[in-house]
Amino acid sequence: MPPRHHQPEALLASLSTERGRSDRLTHTEQLPAREARYAPWPEGIRQEVVAAAAELGVLLPWAHQAEAMDLAAAGRTTVIATGTASGKSLGYLAPVLSELLTGTEARNGRGATALYLAPTKALAADQRRRAAELVPDRVRVALYDGDTPPQEREWVRQYASYVLTNPDMLHRGILPAHPRWSSFLKALKYVVIDECHTYRGVFGSHVAQVLRRLRRLCARYGASPTFLLASATTAEPAVTAQRLTGLPATAVTEDCSPRGPLVFALWEPPLTENVGEHGAPVRRSATAEAGYLLTDLVHDGTRTVVFVRSRRAAELVALQAQEQLGHPLAARVAAYRGGYLAEERRALERDLHTGRLLGLASTSALELGVDVSGLDAVLLAGYPGTRASLWQQAGRAGREGQGALAVLIARDDPLDTYLVHHPDALFATPVEATVLDPDNPHVLAPHLCAAAAELPLTDADLELFGPSSEPLLPVLERRGLLRRRSDGSWYWTRRERAVDGVDLRGSGGSPVQIVEADTGRLLGTVDAEAAHTTVHTGAVHLHQGRTYLVREFDLESSVALVSPANPPYTTSARDVTSISILSTDTTEEWGEAQLSFGSVEVVNQVVGYLRKRISTGEILGESKLDLPPRTLRTRAVWWSVTEDQLLDATIPFDQLPGAAHAAEHASIGLLPLFATCDRWDIGGVSVPLHPDTGLPTVFVYDGHSGGAGFAERGFHRAVVWLTATRDAIAACECDRGCPSCVQSPKCGNGNEPLDKAAAIRLLTTLLAHAPNRPDPADAPDAVGSPGASGTSGASDAPDAPDAPDAPDEGSTGPADGAADDATGDAAG
């Protein structure tokens, strides 16, 4: 019998009622256990693989694994989208390794090859280990990434039959050098794309084009590999797999692995004595609350992982629990974040497994890098951004035949607050689809160049690269990048490598290097797009749990010089933004109100920054900055109401800026619930009188050139999105606006003006005649009409991209709001 407290109900009672915290529990969901369902090994799976699986304790595959193996053997593009610990690896490895084994019997010993793509180097390294457990030595498995020594690379190209790499290396290293890979590509039977839900937004769109380049080269070498994808549970996995690969795909979604019962609790931290901006009430942070709960769980001997959203938070939670536990239990708590070595991760896995380690605070790096399951409890300090991640993290809890507890601890922001008070949005709503838009011309253009450099592009290739490619080619010719020869093919004309102009994970220029001023040590980089708001002179920069001050941001050389420091404040950039409509694709009439989707130009200039006290957010001072404006052409969703509607809603003109700004903030906060994006993917501008519309207008735009598909998703789901926005504001118990509803931690305008009550009336008016309809699927792009010139307004620039575990607390962000009448926030 497990100790009493390991029963999930008892665990939860011990955290809440027994410790006087019942009021923090907003909902408890009971998820029943699931029985395992097995199937026989499919015919094509080789005996060696079956025997190796038996060694590892797998006598029969689960039914979903067998289904995937059958589809793979039949050459069908297949995506396995099932839960954590459901054995997706075996589902694709068994057919792949069987084929490779058969290939070893060919005369050259390499009659079949396979390529494995992981989003991170660490994951590829893990997979190499896993593949090695399942196959005899004669299948030659090799990593090929930036760390592979030059002398090994030639061996990999000539002899390896299972090559594990990442999309960046495929893009930069393998495809441009395809003649040296010709024997590998000729024999290519399978391409495995692991964790494919991570290929979303602009990154996903880039990867989709890299895969099209791979398919084109394979075809030239006479190969037609089968694509096998593994995904977290997402909506419409087959649609995503098709967008990613360009091939019709079949999804395996019925999870037949066993699961113990799970108790899932929603938890809201208490209000504190502290007062935030404009006197707003402030709740205890999710990370501090997680530190208390972790302390109690470890004290009771419960194996627990806390998922947090930043490296700094991982360290803070572990430190807090260690201090509260004291000797000797403190030694059984650790932090984990990205950047650990494989051996360190193996040690953590082992220690959690054996119970030597009882508590671990981790960033989502753990989600991808470390194989832990079978925990008694999982705490999520803040909503991880998608329901797919939520279930992936919560899925770490529970051993076969034994119950487990998951707790989502709300952060003090509109989205988390909404979720812990609307459990249906988590438990009665399917997980979201992965959003990507490979047709984005900003993404496509450099890949057409890269493809032309690999092999001249012919008309026959254009179908592969999608409908946007044909009109783009003459544009690239005018820019002097491509030239059309008399045979009709397009050639790359430059000396430099075409692939060097494309960074799959960022866009808009070379990244800014962060250099320690005294030592010259390179600490890391930030995306060019985010640099103005995050590493401007005077910014507080966090790196691996240490705090630095930016001494100088050198735009010319793309370097930020920093020194270690310990200021009692964080910084928050203020910016001025104007937005103009370039073209409108679609407009819907909601009575007098209008909802539109189209192309916009956003001009943003960081003009200064605020220093805010760490504990309370109190503003300590403001400094000016002299940085040039930057222009972003992207896609946006926007809505406007008429003067009559404002009259009906009793919103006088002096309340309008605060109403629109507050509605904009909250809608940016809630969009991730509907569009699978993070705050940093999107920005917003609210304008009381926009010259292009002649009306009060609120814009929400994609923070990447050419758009990423998020604003489009917002347009198609506008009714539910804006209804949730209004409900979130209305339900908040504060009087005049707080971080849980309309305040934004990254507001470029210092959260001024904000009018919570008027925002509710404004959104109610907007929604009064909204169509009552189910969410339509994505509509194809329509052709828009040219729009008018720009105007300035309040804006919320997109946040600085956090890599899987960048800092989220105390990082700086762009500001919004240009003219006196406009306000905005930046994400960051």
What is the footprint of Zn ion within residues 494-553 (CB under 5 A)? none
Distance CA(58)–CA(376), nearest Å, equals 23
If you ran DSSP here, which 8-state letter would residue 38 be given?
Answer: B
* Span of 65-73, 387-395, 604-612, 744-752 interacting with Zn ion by CB under 5 A: 744-752
Q: What three-state secondary structure class fits 360? A: strand
* Span of 46-54, 74-82, 608-616, 737-745 interacting with Zn ion by CB under 5 A: 737-745
- The single residue among 202, 734, 759, 827 that binds Zn ion, judged by CB under 5 A, is 734
Shortest CB 654 distance to Zn ion, Å? 18
Distance CA(673)–CA(389), nearest Å, equals 12
- The single residue among 79, 380, 825, 827 that binds Zn ion, judged by CB under 5 A, is 825
Shortest CB 411 distance to Zn ion, Å? 13
824 binds Zn ion (CB under 5 A): yes
If you ran DSSP here, which 8-state letter would residue 62 be given?
Answer: B
Distance CA(515)–CA(63), nearest Å, equals 52
Q: Give whichever of 95 and 414 is closer to Zn ion, judged by the CB atom.
A: 414
113 binds Zn ion (CB under 5 A): no
Q: Give whichever of 676 and 743 is closer to Zn ion, judged by the CB atom.
A: 743
Q: Give whichever of 498 and 826 is closer to Zn ion, judged by the CB atom.
A: 826
What is the footprint of Zn ion within residues 795-814 (CB under 5 A)? 796
740 binds Zn ion (CB under 5 A): yes
308 binds Zn ion (CB under 5 A): no
Distance CA(483)–CA(168), nearest Å, equals 26
* Span of 61-69, 579-587, 627-635, 818-826 interacting with Zn ion by CB under 5 A: 818-826
Residues 6+ apart with CB under 8 A from 608: 573, 574, 622, 623, 624, 625, 815
Shortest CB 687 distance to Zn ion, Å? 12
- The single residue among 81, 738, 762, 800 that binds Zn ion, judged by CB under 5 A, is 738
Q: Give whichever of 816 and 821 is closer to Zn ion, judged by the CB atom.
A: 816
How big is the site for Zn ion, counted in residues (CB under 5 A)? Answer: 12
Shortest CB 619 distance to Zn ion, Å? 14
792 binds Zn ion (CB under 5 A): no
* Span of 29-37, 237-245, 369-377, 741-749 interacting with Zn ion by CB under 5 A: 741-749
- The single residue among 228, 741, 759, 766 that binds Zn ion, judged by CB under 5 A, is 741
Residues 6+ apart with CB under 8 A from 413: 669, 739, 740, 745
Helices (H), ranges, 333-455: 342-354, 365-369, 387-394, 414-421, 424-427, 441-454
- The single residue among 732, 762, 767, 806 that binds Zn ion, judged by CB under 5 A, is 732
Q: Give whichever of 289 and 816 is closer to Zn ion, judged by the CB atom.
A: 816
Q: What three-state secondary structure class fits 385? A: coil
Q: Of 719, 575, 577, which Cα lies nearest the Cα of 639?
A: 719
Shortest CB 748 distance to Zn ion, Å? 6
What is the footprint of Zn ion within residues 747-776 (CB under 5 A)? 747, 749
Structure tokens at 481: 């990048």
Q: Of 738, 795, 757, 530, which Cα lies nearest the Cα of 617?
A: 738
* Span of 260-268, 612-620, 743-751, 800-808 interacting with Zn ion by CB under 5 A: 743-751
Q: Give whichever of 70 and 412 is closer to Zn ion, judged by the CB atom.
A: 412
What order of strands is seen across the sheet that includes strand 226-231?
A: 141-143, 162-165, 113-117, 188-193, 226-231, 78-81, 250-252
SS3 letters for 813-825? CCECCCCCCCECE
Q: What is the per-residue DSSP string for 552-598? A: EEETTTTEEEEEE---SEEEEEEEEEEEEEEEEEEEEEETTEEEEEE
Shortest CB 477 distance to Zn ion, Å? 43
Shortest CB 739 distance to Zn ion, Å? 7
List interacting residues with Zn ion (CB under 5 A): 732, 734, 738, 740-741, 747, 749, 796, 816, 823-825
